Amino acid sequence: MITLGIDTSCDDTSVAVVGDEGIRANLVSSHLIHAEYGGVVPEFASRAHTCLLYPMTELAIKTAGISFDEVDLVAATSGPGLMGSLLCGLSFAKGLACASGKPFIAVNHLEGHIYSIFLSHPHLVPPVLVLLVSGGHTELVLVRAEFEYLEIGATLDDACGEALDKVGKLMGLGYPAGAAVERLAKEASNPVPLPRPNPKALDFSYSGLKTAARNYLKAHPETSSSDIARGLEEAAFDHLTDRVVRAVKKSGVYQVGLCGGVAVNKRLRSKLSAAGDEAGFKLYFPLPELCTDNAAMIAVAGRARYEAFGESLFDASAFDRFAFAQRSRS
């Protein structure tokens, strides 16, 4: 089966073609205009999606070496994300499917991220404990079986990637700042000690860390940016690592998946790998190009849903927020 995947959940336009043998094309266009404003401007994102979707779909089909007639399924992100952006990709995908008579499937963006792990590790089977960490999401999800998810921890305020971006912006690193923070952190000689968040249970919190970093920047303007960046990373990632280790012990699941945009950070991977060696769990993460928003993961998740449940109705709507998984009350 050949699946055409479309993702416009936020500020990146992505179109992919995935077949039985794997990814045949996975195109991503990042909208650099947002850097000028220090964050995503929803209207600009929507306009860019509108301009890029058709030519990128043509290019993806050409890159895959097929014709559109050979596509068997059209999959698109329906949420969560920016409503205007989501509607661009979702409407475009519905139009393609309706005009061609091909089946259409709506995909939850978070499920797509989880499938990026299985796409990179095709022999991995549930149960898997997944840490999904990005600019908009930080949560622990227990994948008990295919399509069976239990949320056992989530951020109470800011996401980890959001905190890195916002502190990086205060440091004058532009937007998005995650990659710049990582580069600077490698040059640190005396990392700034910042507090480790510690909310109840397996939840996360990053607003306090963000505030502590901002206050430190104001009080110590002479401190090198690299030392602040390393201190920020250490505090942010120690918090993630602590929750993963606790979740492994509580759940008894020793397969851990790491996904989302922040999963590309090498320091985070190193910390979690070291924790895995000590605690006895094995860490799985996607290929770097599958960590950030991309349509290949949407295509794979969409195909799995289609094969299990059939196609979506054309009245499937976009949503900005949605309870992705059943929430554990323990």
DSSP string, 2-48: -EEEEE-SSSEEEEEEEETTEEEEEEEEE-GGGGGGTS--HHHHHHH
At 43 the pLDDT is: 84
The reply to whether 328 falls in a domain is no
Is residue 98 located within the same domain as residue 240?
Answer: no
H/E segment holding residue 246:
helix 225-251
Q: Note the pLDDT tens digit of each residue in 90-102.
A: 999 999 999 999 9
At 36 the pLDDT is: 66
CB atoms closer than 10 angstroms to residue 126: 18
The reply to whether 234 falls in a domain is yes
Q: What is the mean pLDDT of residues 44-60?
A: 94
At 160 the pLDDT is: 96
Is residue 157 located within the same domain as residue 303?
Answer: no
d(CA 314, CA 90): 10
d(CA 284, CA 271): 13
Is the CB of residue 93 less than 8 Å from the CB of residue 23? no
Domain count, the chain: 2
Q: Note the pLDDT tens digit of each residue in 17-32.
A: 999 999 999 999 976 6
- Checking if the pLDDT of 154 tops 70, the result is yes
CA-CA-CA-CA dihedral for 94, 95, 100, 101, to nearest 10? 40
Is residue 148 located within the same domain as residue 249?
Answer: yes
Is residue 215 located within the same domain as residue 302?
Answer: no
Is residue 194 located within the same domain as residue 107?
Answer: no
The reply to whether 326 falls in a domain is no
* Segments forming the whole domain that contains residue 284: 124-288
The reply to whether 119 falls in a domain is no
Is residue 133 located within the same domain as residue 280?
Answer: yes
Is residue 85 located within the same domain as residue 158?
Answer: no
Rounded to the nearest integer, the mean pLDDT of the chain is 93
CATH number at residue 251: 3.30.420.40
- Checking if the pLDDT of 295 tops 70, the result is yes
Is residue 161 located within the same domain as residue 44?
Answer: no
Is residue 277 located within the same domain as residue 155?
Answer: yes
The reply to whether 14 falls in a domain is yes
Q: Tell me the whole-structure pTM to 2 decimals.
A: 0.94
Q: What is the mean pLDDT of residues 179-200?
A: 94
Is residue 262 located within the same domain as residue 131?
Answer: yes
At 35 the pLDDT is: 65
Is residue 79 located within the same domain as residue 228?
Answer: no
pLDDT-above-70 percentage for the chain: 95
d(CA 59, CA 52): 10
Q: What tokens were used for 13?
A: 């336009």
> Quick one: pLDDT band at residue 50, thresholds 50, 70, 90?
very high
- Checking if the pLDDT of 126 tops 70, the result is yes
Is residue 48 located within the same domain as residue 167?
Answer: no
